[in-house]
């Protein structure tokens, strides 16, 4: 990654941890941003900003600006922060829809808006969002989640069009990710068919690379082994 400075939101989560670790192993400098308190000490190539509520635009800007000030620039933003809810529409709570919108759309929106001035100054600015295959066609109980992730897809497309030629903006659309939490909630599933975090990290980091300079506005399904 040749010293690129990458911000990973949701860095303490199962996917965020892997993306950050792989990016570091490939030579990037990484800033993890998360709502949870930071558990890792700062190193030359990695800092952690904990206690950041990315649903709040002011907090998002403060965190992103702090990263740019610390490393001197910003080259890529990976928006992994988000949430999930399973709830039937008719019997559900409107607050669930509001929470899904806040956790999935507003976090990506606020982080992206804050990062854009810094990314535009980079020779290869990148934004990679995490959407969902489940948002392409919502199933039962997936209304609020799918609607919010569909919002991430449209945000990706709009930003890609607005910043074409200056910043590439893409999204990965995973199926079920193989995490401990997902295994616990779906113990009878065939885990071998799920997307491994490492596989998804590889696709995400490709989209932050120089090799992906011609790719923007893409929504890339990542279905894992079938």
Q: Which amino acids are annotated catalytic? A: 145
Contact 146, 92 (CB under 8 A): no
Closest CA to 6 of 215, 201, 161: 201
SS3 221: strand
C-alpha to C-alpha distance for 178 and 191, rounded to whole angstroms: 7
Q: Is 38 exposed, middle or buried (0-12, 13-18, 19+ CB in 10 A)?
A: middle
Written as six digits, the tokens of 29 are: 């400098």
């Amino acid at each position: 990654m040749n010293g690129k400075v990458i911000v990973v939101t949701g860095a303490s989560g199962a996917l965020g941890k892997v993306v950050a670790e792989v990016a570091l192993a490939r030579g990037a400098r990484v800033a993890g941003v998360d709502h949870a308190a930071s558990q890792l000490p700062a190193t030359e190539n990695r800092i952690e900003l904990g206690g950041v509520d990315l649903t709040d635009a002011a907090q998002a800007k403060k965190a992103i600006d702090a990263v740019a000030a610390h490393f001197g620039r910003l080259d890529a933003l990976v928006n992994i922060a988000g949430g999930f809810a399973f709830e039937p529409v008719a019997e559900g709570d409107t607050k669930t829809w509001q929470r899904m919108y806040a956790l999935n759309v507003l976090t990506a929106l606020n982080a992206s808006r804050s990062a854009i001035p810094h990314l535009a100054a980079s020779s290869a600015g990148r934004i990679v969002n995490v959407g969902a295959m489940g948002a392409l066609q919502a199933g039962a109980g997936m209304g609020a989640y799918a609607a919010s992730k569909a919002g991430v897809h449209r945000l990706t497309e709009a930003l890609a069009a607005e910043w074409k030629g200056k910043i590439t903006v893409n999204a990965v659309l995973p199926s079920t990710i193989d995490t401990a939490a997902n295994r616990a909630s779906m113990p009878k599933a065939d885990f071998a068919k799920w997307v491994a975090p490492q596989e998804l990290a590889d696709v995400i980091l490709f989209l932050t690379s120089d090799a992906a300079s011609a790719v923007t506005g893409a929504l890339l399904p990542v279905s894992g082994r079938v």
